[in-house]
Amino acid sequence: MLITLEKLTKRFGATTAVDGLDLEVRPGRVTGFLGPNGAGKSTTLRMILDLDRPTSGRALLGGRPYSSYALPLRKVGAVLEAKAAHPGRTGRNHLLAMARSNAIAPARVDEVLELVGLSKNARKRTGTYSLGMGQRLGIAGALLGDPPVLILDEPVNGLDPDGVRWIRGLMRDLAAEGRTVLVSSHLLSEMQMTADHLIVIGHGRLLADAPLDEILSGHASLEDAYYTLTEGTALR
């Protein structure tokens, strides 16, 4: 399923956060979404998920707005913030509530808890979870509906080295299954090991949309290539 942005624009008063983005995020690969702080990455992800309304243009998932899907968890799984769960609920009950809202069988809850390594902590209240455990719970929620599209914002935040290696492998495996995987991250070394394709923005404008190998061409590392692309675009 394609993610398509068509002249996507978002203004907050006199400030343009996202400026006419035209691009496609394709299935079967991990697409890294990069840019300096204030570049418009989070606002773009929120517009894709209909959490923010564009000033103009549109964001489509499989040719349709996210809000048009009756059971959206079966189409798109997203993690925009670690520990985005009620602290008084157990991890399992948090996922059960999500599952019921999208007609997903309770057995799937136990499957994703096992997949993300939270089975032993499933009946603990999420308020006691570490940041890394909260991140795993968020990823479990994203996988709950077995969706063709995954949108992850800083998914390694709070994970230990084993967790980082796990999420890297998970993203690669999901892309290999033909899913669309869009990952926003500031960890350039991690993106160099994980991404097949990169989208780079600065001040809300598209700076690059190309395969990783093409962006790396002529540079010693992704860090070097990134700073060449974004020179002068850091938040002022």
pLDDT tens-digit profile, the chain (236 residues): 999 999 999 999 999 999 999 999 999 999 999 999 999 999 999 999 999 999 999 999 999 999 999 999 999 999 998 778 899 999 999 999 999 999 999 999 999 999 999 999 999 999 999 999 999 999 999 999 999 999 999 999 888 999 999 999 999 999 999 999 999 999 999 999 999 999 999 999 999 999 999 999 999 999 999 999 998 565 43
- pLDDT the model gives residue 83: 74
The answer to whether residues 99 and 144 touch, using CB atoms and an 8 Å cutoff, is yes
pLDDT score of 235: 41
- Hey, what amino acid is at 26? R
What pTM, to 2 d.p., does this model score?
0.94
C-alpha–C-alpha distance, residues 166 and 69, integer Å: 30
The tokens describing 230, both together, are: 């974004």
* Rounded-to-integer distance, Cα 77 and Cα 74, Å: 8
- Residue 232: per-residue pLDDT: 57
Full set of structural domains in the chain with CATH:
3-75+148-230 (3.40.50.300), 86-146 (no CATH)
Judged by DSSP in three states, 177 sits in: coil
Those residues with Cβ within 8 angstroms of residue 230's Cβ, 6 or more apart along the chain or in another chain: 35, 36, 39, 200, 202, 207
pLDDT of residue 199: 98
Which DSSP letter does residue 145 get?
Answer: T
pLDDT at site 53: 97
On whether the CB atoms of residues 208 and 230 are closer than 8 A, the answer is no
